[in-house]
Chain A
C-alpha cells in the first residue's frame, strides 16, 4: 500500500535554525565559501535535517508523534539549498511492507530532491496499535 506523498520546503533559514537547535554548526550547512572549497556545489542541508523531515512524514502517516520504534536511513546524495526565498523541496513517499500481529507497521521510505533520491535503505517501523 502506498501512502500519500508529503513534501517539505527547505530554505537557508531552516538550515540556520536547525544548526542552532541541533548543535551541528558545520559551515558546509551555512557557508557557500566553505561548501564550494570542499567540492560541494553549494550549501547543503544537514543529513539529519533531511532525516528529521522524513521522521515528520513517518509520524504523520502513523498518526502519532510517539509511534516510531525503529528508523534508519542511508545518506546517498546531498540536498543543495540555494540562497533564495524558494530554497528547495524534499518529496517523501512510502509503501507499507508489513503489518505484524504485534501492531507494528514496517515502511519503506523514499526521499527525493529535484527528482533524485537523496536517501537509500530508508526504513521505519511504527507502532500502529496501542
Chain B
C-alpha cells in the first residue's frame, strides 16, 4: 500500500497524561526478567538518586505504542494495521522514567517512504512531564506490507 508523503511533519494533539505506577514498573520488569533492585525497591532506586523505582529502558513503549495508535488509526492516512510490521525502534533519554512520573506524548510523523510496494512510516513521540520538560524521545518505524 502507498502512504501519502504529505503527512510528513504532521504533529498530533498531546495525549492525556499517563501516570507511571510503581507496580506497573515492577510488573514490566518482572515480565522481561529484569531483577535489578532499582526496578523493584524504592530504597535501591533512591540510593541511585531517583525518587522511586526506575523503569527498564524499553518501558516507554507501554505509553508510546498506545499513543501512536493516534496516527495508525488516522483515517486520512489509512494504515491497514493487519499489514503492519515493526521495523525500527529507538529511545533517546533525557532522564530515566521513574514511578510517579506523569507523562504526555506528542506524536509527529517524521518520515514516509514507499518502496517495493511497501509503505514505511517513521513516527517520533516526544515524551515529556506535565510541565513540558523532556524525558525521552521515542522513534518507531513501521512497515505497512503491500499485497503479495
Write the residues of chain A forming the contact surface with B, with a CB cutoff of 8 angstroms: 8, 14, 17-18, 20-24, 38, 47-49, 51-53, 55-56, 58-59, 64-66, 68-75, 121
Contact of A73 with B89 at beta-carbon distance under 8 Å, contacts A24-B65, A65-B39 already known: yes
Specify the main secondary structure of chain B where it touches its partner.
mixed
A52-B32, A64-B38 known; 19 other A-B pairs, CB under 8 Å? A20-B27, A20-B31, A21-B30, A22-B62, A38-B82, A48-B89, A51-B58, A55-B56, A55-B57, A64-B48, A65-B39, A68-B93, A70-B91, A70-B92, A71-B90, A71-B91, A72-B89, A75-B85, A75-B87
Q: Is A48 a contact of B39 with CB atoms below 8 Å?
A: no
Q: How far is the CA of A47 from the CA of B142 in the complex (A)?
A: 12
Q: Is B33 a contact of A65 with CB atoms below 8 Å?
A: no
Q: Is B89 a contact of A8 with CB atoms below 8 Å?
A: no
Contact of A66 with B32 at beta-carbon distance under 8 Å, contacts A21-B27, A55-B56, A59-B57 already known: no
Q: How far is the CA of A71 from the CA of B39 in the complex (A)?
A: 18
Q: How far is the CA of A59 from the CA of B86 in the complex (A)?
A: 23
Q: Is B86 a contact of A66 with CB atoms below 8 Å?
A: no
| Chain A residues whose CB sits within 8 angstroms of the CB of B30 once the complex forms | 17, 21
Q: How far is the CA of A55 from the CA of B86 in the complex (A)?
A: 17
* B side interface size, CB within 8 A: 32
Write the residues of chain B forming the contact surface with A, with a CB cutoff of 8 angstroms: 27-28, 30-34, 36, 38-39, 48, 50, 54, 56-58, 61-62, 65-66, 82, 85-93, 96, 139
Q: Is A52 a contact of B54 with CB atoms below 8 Å?
A: no
| Chain B residues whose CB sits within 8 angstroms of the CB of A69 once the complex forms | 92-93
| Chain B residues whose CB sits within 8 angstroms of the CB of A55 once the complex forms | 32, 56-58
Q: Nearest Cβ in chain A — how far from B64, in angstroms?
A: 10
Q: Is B87 a contact of A74 with CB atoms below 8 Å?
A: yes
| Chain A residues whose CB sits within 8 angstroms of the CB of B38 once the complex forms | 64-66
